[in-house]
Amino acid sequence: MKYIFLYLTLISLTSMAEARTISGKVLAIHDGDTLTFLPQGEVKKAKLRLMGVDTPEIDFNGASQGEVAEKAREFLSSLIPLNSTIQVSLSDKDTDINGRYLGQIFYNGIDINLEILKAGWGATYFIFPYDKKIVVSYENVSEKAAIQGVGIFSDKYKAQPFGYMFRQHIKGVEGTNIVGDFESKKLFSQQSIESVPHFHRVFFSGQETAVNHGFNW
């Protein structure tokens, strides 16, 4: 019986792991971090948001960041052509607050999220829960992009706010998430967000969660 139990447990864990990765066909690119795709085996298309990446807004409540947003979308389109089949490693949350799939996109074995950050067409954007290894990997390439002055960090576009700051401005509200410095493990209010290098920022919905995971004021 013990061996049967272990066998069934292994099957269960394997199924759970497999459920974390899906594939699908790219149908449309909305902006640098959002697309529509058709999940394999499904008949209904779905929205997909790139995890850990925030690019300039093409259209948010009727407002746009203009050329820089168009450039970010063009770059994503160059990485994953329409009708291409992508693999998606879903985040712990599976979907974001808007009901979109949330995950890492892979095409021909390439981490598309990472490529966006490497080219500087987006900023890192992690709201807990997150994978620490992915945070480290993404923040390293984002820092290099900023130092190199490419994409949104170039002289031409660096005055533009990050996508999440732009959305707050358009809505006329301040962010409600607590800001954490991933390196120092210090917490900051939204009013002090500039105290944290953009590539070290992680966000928490509440203080208790942040403290329980090693962050403090």
Q: Which of these, 206, 26, 47, lies nearest to 129 by C-alpha position?
A: 206
pLDDT greater than 80 at residue 16: no
pLDDT greater than 80 at residue 5: no
CA–CA distance, 67 with 10 (Å, rounded to integer): 50
Residue 18, CB half-sphere, CA atoms under 13 Å: how many?
6
Q: What is the pLDDT of residues 43-71, one digit of tens each?
A: 999 999 999 999 999 999 999 999 999 99
Question: 66-92 b/e with 16+ CB inside 10 Å = b?
Answer: eebbebbbebbeebbeeeeebbbbbbe
pLDDT greater than 70 at residue 184: yes
Q: How far is CA 133 from CA 16, 67, 128, 130, 191, in A?
A: 21, 32, 13, 9, 28
**pLDDT on residue 93:** 65
More confident residue, 99 or 133: 133
CA–CA distance, 126 with 168 (Å, rounded to integer): 16
The secondary structure of residue 162, as a DSSP letter, is: P
Which CATH fold would you assign to the domain 2-122? OB fold (Dihydrolipoamide Acetyltransferase, E2P) (2.40.50)
Strands (E), 75-127: 85-95, 101-107, 110-111, 123-125
pLDDT band per the 50, 70, 90 thresholds, residue 27? very high
pLDDT band per the 50, 70, 90 thresholds, residue 91? confident
Hey, where are the domains in the chain? Answer: 2-122
Q: Quick one: average pLDDT of 188-209?
A: 96
**pLDDT on residue 155:** 98
pLDDT greater than 60 at residue 81: yes
CA–CA distance, 94 with 92 (Å, rounded to integer): 6
pLDDT greater than 60 at residue 10: no
Q: How many CB atoms lie within 10 A of CB 60?
A: 17
Residue 86: strand, helix, or coil: strand
